[in-house]
Amino acid sequence: MEFVLYEVKDAVGVITINREKALNALNSQVLDELNQTLDGVDLETIRCLILTGAGEKSFVAGADIGEMSTLTKAEGEAFGKKGNDVFRKLETFPIPVIAAVNGFALGGGCEISMSCDIRICSENAVFGQPEAGLGITPGFGGTQRLARLVGPGMAKQMIYTARNIKADEALRIGLVNAVYPQDELMAQAEKMAAGIAKNAPIAVRNCKKAINDGLDADMDEAIVIEEKLFGDCFETEDQRYGMKCFLEKVKDKEPFKNK
């Protein structure tokens, strides 16, 4: 692949968008390669993904403005669908995905980070939805996910004004969970991923599904979604072993088996 790198470190997969000359902007090829990369993740062995951008300046500076500049209405809609399909695959990916935002996360860059389960960023990170200044709306889920993450008032302010915000403000409004010096960001992402990877994989996947599906439902339906996914964990080897270790006060547990 030309623009997407995939590296495996123990049970963690690291996806790097690698189009540094264009600040990792998302053209159709990058979107296709991301899609293929996700399809290739070995879900038997990988328990968490990290998504980041190449270099120290930009995570993803948005959808490719050159490619979009001449699109017709129909082509624009199709490009939006192409991005949305990949981002939705990421959002509903069975295992958690941490966005390690290492610089600019603008437009499609902010949007792809919001399709991840968790966002952490470097001190030089900049978030924003500049689309209205380019004559378009956000097109890869920004109008929907930003409003859900930071509330409609703040999302509308950011989107209508097209004003970028720095890492400290992103932290304050809850768009990111933590801010680190650039040279510590990947280590922190890997530490968090390892902390997720050591827990029972079936349980972690069911947690992700319960939270995601529950957020799309009303509370009566949502608690039933949880009950089913909770019940689904029982009789697994990992549930039996995890509870046995607690009851028998085992200090050094064996790794969970994903069974």
- By CB under 6 A, name the binding residues for ligand CAA: 22-23, 25, 61-66, 83, 104, 106-108, 111, 130-131, 134, 138-140, 142
Question: Is the Cβ of residue 5 or residue 22 nearer to ligand CAA in the bound state?
Answer: 22
CB of 120 to ligand CAA, least distance (A): 20
Rounded distance between C-alpha atoms, residue 253 and residue 244, angstroms? 10
Instruction: Choose the catalytic residue: 56, 111, 227, 235.
Output: 111
CB of 14 to ligand CAA, least distance (A): 23
Sheet holding 126-128, edge to edge: 58-60, 104-106, 126-128, 165-166
CB of 180 to ligand CAA, least distance (A): 21
Q: Which residues contact 210 (CB under 8 A, 6 or more apart)?
A: 225, 226, 229, 230
Which of the following is catalytic: 56, 75, 77, 131?
131
If the CB atoms of residues 55 and 94 are measured against ligand CAA, the closer one turns out to be 55
Element housing 99 (H / E): strand 97-101
Q: Is 7 marked active-site? A: no
Smallest distance from ligand CAA to CB 73, Å: 15
Q: Are 189 and 199 in contact (CB under 8 A)?
A: no
Please name the residue that has the structure tokens 């009789």.
235
- The reply to whether 131 belongs to the active site is yes
Residue whose structure tokens are 């399909």: 85
Q: 119 forms bridges with which residues in the sheet? A: 99
Which residue's CB is nearer to ligand CAA, number 28 or number 157? 28
Closest CA to 41 of 110, 97, 101, 109: 97
Residue with Cβ nearer ligand CAA (162 or 245):
162
Residues with catalytic function: 111, 131
